[in-house]
Amino acid sequence: MAMDDERFDGMYLQLAQQVGGIDPLLDSFFGFLRRKTDFFSGAVSADAAQETLLKAFGKNRDRAAEDVREKAAKEKKRKAEEQKRRARLQADKDAKQQKAEESRIEEVPAPAPAEAPAAAESSGETSGEASADAEGEDDKGEGKGLKPVNNGAILDNYRWTQTLQDLQVVIEIPKGTRTKFLDVQIQKQQLKVQVKGSDAVVDGELHKAIKMEDSTWSVEDNPSGDNRLLTLSLSKVNQMEWWTCVMVGDPEINTQKVEPENSKLSDLDGETRQTVEKMMYDQRQKAAGLPTADEQSKQDMLKKFMEQHPEMDFSKAKIS
């Protein structure tokens, strides 16, 4: 009879219930062997019956251990499959939520193309715009400074624009000026531009540090005027902040009114996207007279600390 023969399970179960447990069941079974068989009397030796008994016991003991291992392996596999299933469901849920969030992200319009300096000069609006913008400084507590033009400004001696990563400074120079007549010195936080034989157009300290190795300059004819344009492309060291001006001491713009370049936040990598979103959130909070993300976090931590320590008196505490 096979070791796993289950034909008599019902009978054994009923018998075990009647005799009251495993020990009485074994005693009854060996009594049956003694009374009705030659298991004991017909053995070759006194130890033969015991060896047969131990052999049967060993086989079932090993099989019981194997059953435990198989059951544990099946349970482990079941849990792993359940975990994978939950992970897939969570991933699908996160993907749908991410898609829904991205669909709500508004695309910020790109700045309008910068006007040619010659056109501005011919209309007599170059200095006029700067003064008008200065008069139009924010009156709602949103910060001070000129209203940005393409995230920069149009000044008397140059105009400039910027993205988070770099700046572009455009200077008008006389027609026919060749590069050998120019003295352009770009340093980490110093800038000098001069047409030889004339006063320097700019010569001083930059508002912030730049990457010298990634900054360049070039000269080309002005298609809209009777002069040439010297264009400097300056790469920022800190590419997560807006500049208020190019040169220290020059008129500053209101950085709370700058507009990020035309790109979807979903196109940015995770870290850059978080930084830009935080900057935009902080900008909106400041404009509304509300705390920034960092300030709110500090307030929440303080509130939690005060709740955890009701015995302390914070009424006279000076908290910044």
Q: What is the pLDDT of residues 225-237, one digit of tens each?
A: 789 999 999 999 9
Sheet containing 153-154: order of strands: 153-154, 159-162, 166-173, 228-236, 210-221
Q: Minimum mean pLDDT among 16-20, 118-122, 157-161, 230-234: which range?
A: 118-122
- Tokens for 232? 């400097």
Q: Helix 9-19 to helix 22-36 angle, to the nearest 10 degrees? A: 110
Q: Is the pLDDT of residue 148 over 90?
A: no
Tell me the mean pLDDT in the region 290-294: 85
CA distance 37 to 111: 104
Residue in the block written with tokens 């705390």: 291
Q: Is the pLDDT of residue 27 over 80?
A: yes
pLDDT digits (tens, 9 = 90+) for 72-100: 998 898 888 888 888 888 888 877 777 77
20 or 118, greater pLDDT = 20
Q: pLDDT class for 14, splitting at 50, 70, 90?
A: confident
Q: Is the pLDDT of residue 17 over 70?
A: yes
Return the pLDDT at 101. 66
In sequence order, the 6+-apart residues with CB closer than 8 A to the CB of 228 are: 172, 173, 174, 175, 176, 177, 219, 220, 221, 222
Phi, psi (degrees; rounded to nearest 5) at 265: -60, -30
